[in-house]
Amino acid sequence: MLIPFFINNILTVLSNKIIFYFLTLYFIIDLRDIRAQIYLNKLKSVIFLFLEVYFMALSFREKYSFGIGAFGKDIILAYVNIFLMIYFTDVLYLSPAFVGSLFFVARIWDAINDPVMGMIVDNTYNKFGKFRTWISIGTILNAITLVLLFSSFNFQGKILYAYISIIYILFGMTYTMLDIPYWSWLPNLTSDPHEREEVGVIPRIFASSSYVVLGVISFQLIYFFNKSFGNDKNHKFGYAAGALLIALIYIVTLAITVFNVKENHSLETQEEKIDLKHMWTVLTTNKHLKSYIGLLLGFHLYNSAYSSFMVYYLKYVAKNLNLFSAYSACQLAEMLGLVMFPLFARRLGRDATYKIACVIGIIGLCILGFSAFVAPASLILLVLGTIGIKIGSGLVIGTITVLVADVIDYNQLQFGMRNESIICSAQTFLVKTSMAVCGLLTGLSLTVLGYDASLVEQSSTTILGLRLLVFLPSLIFICSSLFIYIKGYKLKGKVLYEVREKVAQLNSNKSTYETETEEKNVILESVNN
SS3 content of the chain, % helix, strand, coil (to 5): 80, 0, 20
Neighbours of 489 (CB within 10 A): 20
pLDDT value of residue 191? 66
Domain borders along the chain are 5-49+508-528, 56-492
The most confident of 61-70, 407-416, 505-514, by mean pLDDT: 61-70
Confidence of residue 35 (pLDDT cuts 50, 70, 90): very low
The answer to whether residue 525 scores a pLDDT higher than 80 is no
- By CB neighbour count within 10 A (0-12 exposed, 13-18 middle, 19+ buried), where does 234 fall? middle
- 111's CB contacts (< 8 A; 6+ apart) are 429
DSSP designation for 32:
T
Q: In which region does residue 157 sit, left (phi positive, over 0), alpha (psi from -120 to 50) or beta (all else)?
A: left
Instruction: List, for residues 206-232, the tens digit of each pLDDT value.
Output: 887 887 888 777 778 888 888 877 777
The answer to whether residue 421 scores a pLDDT higher than 80 is no
| Separation CA 202–CA 211 (nearest Å) | 15
| Separation CA 25–CA 450 (nearest Å) | 85
Mean pLDDT of 96-117: 80
pLDDT value of residue 471? 93
Give Cα 358 distance to the centre of its chain. Answer: 18
Contact 286, 208 (CB under 8 A): no
277-313 in b/e form (b: 16+ CB < 10 A) is ebbeebbeebebbebbbbbbbbbbbbbbbbbbbbbbb
The answer to whether residue 483 scores a pLDDT higher than 90 is yes
pLDDT value of residue 21? 44
The answer to whether residue 482 scores a pLDDT higher than 90 is yes
How many residues are recorded in the chain?
Answer: 529
The phi, psi pair for 232, rounded to 5°, reads -70, 145
Instruction: List, for residues 263-308, the tens digit of each pLDDT value.
Output: 765 555 444 556 666 666 766 777 788 888 888 888 888 988 888 8
Mean pLDDT of 235-254: 90
Whether CATH 1.20.1250.20 fits 56-492 = yes
Please name which of 65, 70, 414, 98 lies closest in space to residue 269, comparing C-alpha atoms: 414
Mean pLDDT over all residues of the chain?
78
pLDDT value of residue 165? 92
Say what the pTM is: 0.65
Lowest-confidence region among 7-21, 79-93, 131-145, 505-519: 7-21
Interhelix angle 236-260/130-149, rounded to 10 degrees, is 170
pLDDT value of residue 245? 92
